[in-house]
Chains A and B, each alone.
Chain A
């Protein structure tokens, strides 16, 4: 059986669910960010796969590149916030960081 679009979409769904479980189970803020990256990659696999199989043409690639750029930006800001939280609270446990102000 040849590889079809369905295979790629199923793979992306598995990656997405893994990322979601990661989001729900990690207590460490950086671990939570790892889950976000998994989810973004799942979305990107979908975009490129649909583009490959004739839906939307090359625009899927352009969209995927934008997603990668925004994911990088998101990671930078999130890690800056995590480091700032670590300076203030001496922990990166998302359960214990429950106040917005000091």
Chain B
């Protein structure tokens, strides 16, 4: 591969990649759960920017709307609802460092070996412009069944989450 000047896209990739990994480290290694959740916010936003860099406009916007707007708010909600218990303990205790980190590094080594020794295509296909209509076509033709199944799953999740999270009074405390 020739060593020509860094293009703007390459520079942006490196910036967002460093941000993604940095925030990912924050998610994994920060002791405070609130900070870890905010690290997840950074990771999700950086990954959305990477999607934008890969001309995946619809996926990028979906990532921001669903993940940052929905899932992350739920996480913060959960963290703050259970925060009282966190104050009692020494921060948020973590375990198994001695086993987990070396195992993770070994796995990363295996993955890197597999990636670097496999012939991956190097040239991107020409950008085809906005992807929304293409994705919509796919969902309403070839992937209609998965699309419908997902809608049923979402309904089931809506009802199931209500059912599970509802505070059920025990018989003795009902009176």
Contacts and interface: CB of A to CB of B under 8 A. Distances in A.
A2 B74 contact: no
Interface residues of B, number: 88
A37 B20 CA distance: 13
25 contacts: A1-B3, A3-B10, A5-B121, A5-B122, A10-B115, A13-B108, A17-B105, A24-B99, A24-B104, A27-B93, A28-B86, A31-B33, A34-B36, A38-B40, A41-B47, A49-B54, A53-B124, A58-B135, A58-B138, A68-B59, A73-B153, A75-B71, A79-B78, A79-B161, A86-B81
Interface of A: 1-11, 13-22, 24-28, 30-31, 33-35, 37-38, 41, 44-45, 48-49, 51-55, 58-59, 61-62, 64-66, 68-73, 75-77, 79-84, 86-87, 90-92, 95
Interface of B: 1-4, 7, 9-10, 13-14, 17, 20-21, 24-25, 27-28, 33, 36-37, 40, 43-44, 47, 50-51, 54-56, 58-59, 62-63, 66-67, 70-71, 74-75, 77-79, 81-82, 85-86, 92-97, 99-101, 103-105, 107-108, 111-112, 115-116, 120-125, 128, 131, 134-135, 138-139, 143, 146, 150, 153-154, 157-158, 160-162, 164-165, 167
